[in-house]
């Protein structure tokens, strides 16, 4: 599938608080065409934007996301705003015409299939579908697909595992997202020969991004979208 070459990581990279609506607005203002963000469920089952299992690092609150209700999460501040819901982020992407990579972020001890099913259900109802759904969790991806079969899916890995072909077949994934530091030429060639789009995270140097594009990587996730010109995005 066609990816933007530069994907702002966790909404706007370092342009704003991570996984925030302000990040989406900042990415759009800069001229980004694509953004990535992480989603997980509140204790009462509402998909919110968050990367870590707890709110401690990225907000002024404390506690595990999966044990906090939406009302409690909304009292946790990310800079000037409360923890966003996935619904708000999707509306923002529609408003700014952003391609989006929605990452289903499985939490330790959590129910990956429930995460996938709830988010998949929401995406089937409320997302324009311009972008891709990804996860490190195969169970989360398969559950999302059971609810949102028309959307595109990507497998997310640190290093490419030996059984990647089986996982691609199980999910009909159109893309594979890999840690740029774990990418090897042979794996990249095999993925491309299989017709898959390859995107790499997290690339915060322009030269490194250009070397990856030259090697056949379609897109990079970056905390520094400001290093790229608008016509390179």
Q: Which residues bind Mg ion (CB under 5 A)?
A: 38, 103
Q: What are phi and psi of 83, to 5 degrees?
A: -55, 125
Give per-residue burial for 155-170: e unless 16+ CB within 10 Å, then b. bbbeebeeebeeebee
**Residue nearest ligand G3P, CB atom distance:** 201
Q: Minimum distance between the CB of residue 51 and ligand G3P, rounded to whole angstroms?
A: 6
Whether 62 is catalytic:
no
Cβ proximity to ligand G3P: between 118 and 154 the closer is 154
How far is it, in rounded angstroms, from Cα 2 to Cα 113? 28
Cβ proximity to Mg ion: between 136 and 213 the closer is 136
Whether 128 is catalytic:
no
State the Cα angle at 13 between 8 and 18, rounded to 5°. Answer: 120
Cβ proximity to Mg ion: between 38 and 223 the closer is 38
- Beta carbons of 25 and 93 less than 8 angstroms apart: no
Q: Minimum distance between the CB of residue 213 and ligand G3P, rounded to whole angstroms?
A: 17
Q: Where are the alpha helices (DSSP H) in 31-184?
A: 70-74, 86-96, 112-126, 138-147, 164-171
Instruction: Using CB under 6 A, list all residues that contact ligand G3P.
Output: 9, 36, 38, 51, 103, 134, 156, 177, 201, 221
Residue recorded with tokens 């990804």: 134
Cβ proximity to Mg ion: between 75 and 179 the closer is 179
Residue of 51, 62, 151, 177 marked active site: 51
Q: Which does 221 bind (CB under 5 to 8 A by kind): Mg ion, ligand G3P, none?
A: ligand G3P
Among the listed residues 98, 150, 119, the one whose alpha carbon sits nearest the alpha carbon of residue 42 = 119
Angstrom CA distances, 9 to 69, 130, 172, 216, stand at: 26, 17, 24, 20
Looking at residue 150, what DSSP letter applies?
A: T
3-state SS assignment for residue 160: coil
Q: Where are the alpha helices (DSSP H) in 97-134?
A: 112-126
Cβ proximity to ligand G3P: between 156 and 168 the closer is 156
Catalytic residues: 9, 51
């Amino acid at each position: 599938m066609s990816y933007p070459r530069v994907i702002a990581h966790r909404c706007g990279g370092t342009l704003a608080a991570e996984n925030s609506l302000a990040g989406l607005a900042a990415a759009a203002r800069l001229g980004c065409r694509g953004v990535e963000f992480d989603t997980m469920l509140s204790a009462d089952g509402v998909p919110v934007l968050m990367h870590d299992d707890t709110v401690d690092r990225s907000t002024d609150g404390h506690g595990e996301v999966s044990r906090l209700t939406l009302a409690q999460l909304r009292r946790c501040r990310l800079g000037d705003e409360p923890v966003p819901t996935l619904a708000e982020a999707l509306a923002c992407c529609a408003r700014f015409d952003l391609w989006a990579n929605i990452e289903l972020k499985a939490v330790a001890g959590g129910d990956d299939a429930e995460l996938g099913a709830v988010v998949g259900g929401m995406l089937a109802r409320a997302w324009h579908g311009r972008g891709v759904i990804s996860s490190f969790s195969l169970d989360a991806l398969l559950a999302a697909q059971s609810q949102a079969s028309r959307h595109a899916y990507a497998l997310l890995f640190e290093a490419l595992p030996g059984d990647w072909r089986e996982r691609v077949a199980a999910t009909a994934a159109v893309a594979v997202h890999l840690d740029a530091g774990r990418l090897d030429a042979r794996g990249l060639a095999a993925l491309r020969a299989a017709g898959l789009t390859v995107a790499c995270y997290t690339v915060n140097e322009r030269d490194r991004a250009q070397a990856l594009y030259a090697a056949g990587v379609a897109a990079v996730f970056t905390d520094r979208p400001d290093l790229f010109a608008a016509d390179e995005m």
